[in-house]
Structure 1
Amino acid sequence: MKLFQYHHCPYCVRADMVANYKNVSHEKVYLLNDDEQSCYDLIDAKVVPILQFDDGSVMKESLDIVLKLNELGDKSKVITAKNKWHEYEQLFADVKPSTRILTYPRTILIGLPEFATQSAKDYFQAKKEAMIDMPFEQAIIESAQHIELVNGLLAKLPELAINETLAMDDVLLFPMLRNLSMVKGLRFQQQTLLYMQHIATLTQSELYFSKAL
């Protein structure tokens, strides 16, 4: 079984978290960000993650993949239902433009496998600059004001549950927090940091604090 993905992609991280937590035997395949052909060959669309089974059949849509991996994985590794996701989702929605402006430019600078070539970086940069309506250089220059806004969000986050089992709240929330860890100057509450470190360990996921810019 192969899981085609990008390291930075929150939708991909959801699938990878569950595959790791549920001890599903799989090969991680990190596509270059500008590798459209591999995606089209598999599912006729430029979309990740993609789960390819040993018989060659494929599945897309991150939450469908999460459900399938949960079904296939270790039955003793429980994933509990989501409970507070809508609350978290609304908080993040309030600062979505700022999180994009902060993370997109940094994503190509921290040594991720999907950006191993300059053409992959250029492909990503062109698309994301159009989304944030500014050059990456300008976004970096304007970081301070967006860091202030996102710090406001981080201060409002309620205490995040630290459990020995994974919850769907974690599957949806952790990838967003993980990507923010690449931004130097963000102030995570101590309890939020403990939560992030716990989920990273539980799901064998990487945080970006050591690479933060």
Structure 2
Amino acid sequence: MKLYVYDHCPFCVKARTIFGLKDTAFDLVILLNDDEATPKRMIGKKMAPILEHDGRYIAESMDIVAHVDGLSGDRVLTGASNPALTDWNSEVTGPLYSLAIPRWANAGFEEFSTPAARAYFTRNKEAMLGSFKDHWRPAPTISRR
């Protein structure tokens, strides 16, 4: 099994976690952020995580989690979803990403190991959020929310 991820990606962290919980071996592949060809070849669009297993690809983090959880032994994720946690997650995602994304762009993640990969991330995320410079100043205000 191969799991294709970005280190900065929360959905990728979620997909990686099940391997530890299940003590399941896998090959980890960090994609360069500007590598559009690899994920498009596998799933038709640029996104991560992607699990490659038995000649097929699974692209959604929770689908990956469910797949790996069901491969062997007892399932470890058997409890009901908590709607309060889902609501809280929806509430904090915007402010959290406003804080995190500009900082991820400056971090030493492997997916940004080339200038082109870091520039690709910065260009695309600034198109969504606006200039990263504008997101450094309000950090104390946002973090109090």
8 Å contact from structure 1 (residues 14, 62) kept in 2? yes
Aligned pairs, number: 145
TM-score for both structures, normalised by structure 1: 0.63
Distance apart, 1:5 and its partner CA? 0.8
> Does 2:91 correspond to 1:94?
yes
Distance apart, 1:143 and its partner CA? 1.4
For residues 172-201 of structure 1, the C-alpha deviation after alignment (integer angstroms, 9 at most, x for no partner) is xxxxxxxxxxxxxxxxxxxxxxxxxxxxxx
8 Å contact from structure 2 (residues 21, 76) kept in 1? no
Structure 2 unpaired stretches of 5+: none
Which amino acid letter does the alignment assign opposite residue 60 of structure 1?
A
Q: Do the aligned partners of residues 60 and 146 (structure 1) sit closer, same or farther apart at CA in structure 2, a change above 3 Å counting?
A: same
Q: Trace 1:37-116 onto structure 2 (pairs within 5 A).
A: 37-53=37-53, 55-73=54-72, 75-76=73-74, 78-84=76-82, 86-116=83-113
Q: Do the aligned partners of residues 68 and 118 (structure 1) sit closer, same or farther apart at CA in structure 2, a change above 3 Å counting?
A: same
Which amino acid letter does the alignment assign opposite residue 91 of structure 1?
W
8 Å contact from structure 1 (residues 21, 77) kept in 2? no
Distance apart, 1:137 and its partner CA? 1.2
Q: Do the aligned partners of residues 41 and 94 (structure 1) sit closer, same or farther apart at CA in structure 2, a change above 3 Å counting?
A: closer
Task: Find the counterpart in structure 1 of residue 137 from structure 2.
Answer: 141
Distance apart, 1:77 and its partner CA? 6.3
Structure 1 unpaired stretches of 5+: 150-213
TM-score for both structures, normalised by structure 2: 0.89
CA distance in 2, matches of 1:65, 1:118: 30
8 Å contact from structure 1 (residues 32, 113) kept in 2? yes
CA distance in 1, matches of 2:89, 2:81: 16
For residues 33-52 of structure 1, the C-alpha deviation after alignment (integer angstroms, 9 at most, x for no partner) is 11101111222211211111
8 Å contact from structure 1 (residues 24, 72) kept in 2? no
Classify the secondary structure of the residue corresponding to 1:111: coil
8 Å contact from structure 2 (residues 49, 60) kept in 1? yes
CA distance in 2, matches of 1:98, 1:45: 26
Which amino acid letter does the alignment assign opposite residue 80 of structure 2?
K
Root-mean-square deviation (CA, aligned residues, Å) is: 1.7
Structure 1 window deviating more from structure 2 (139-148 vs 92-101): it is 92-101
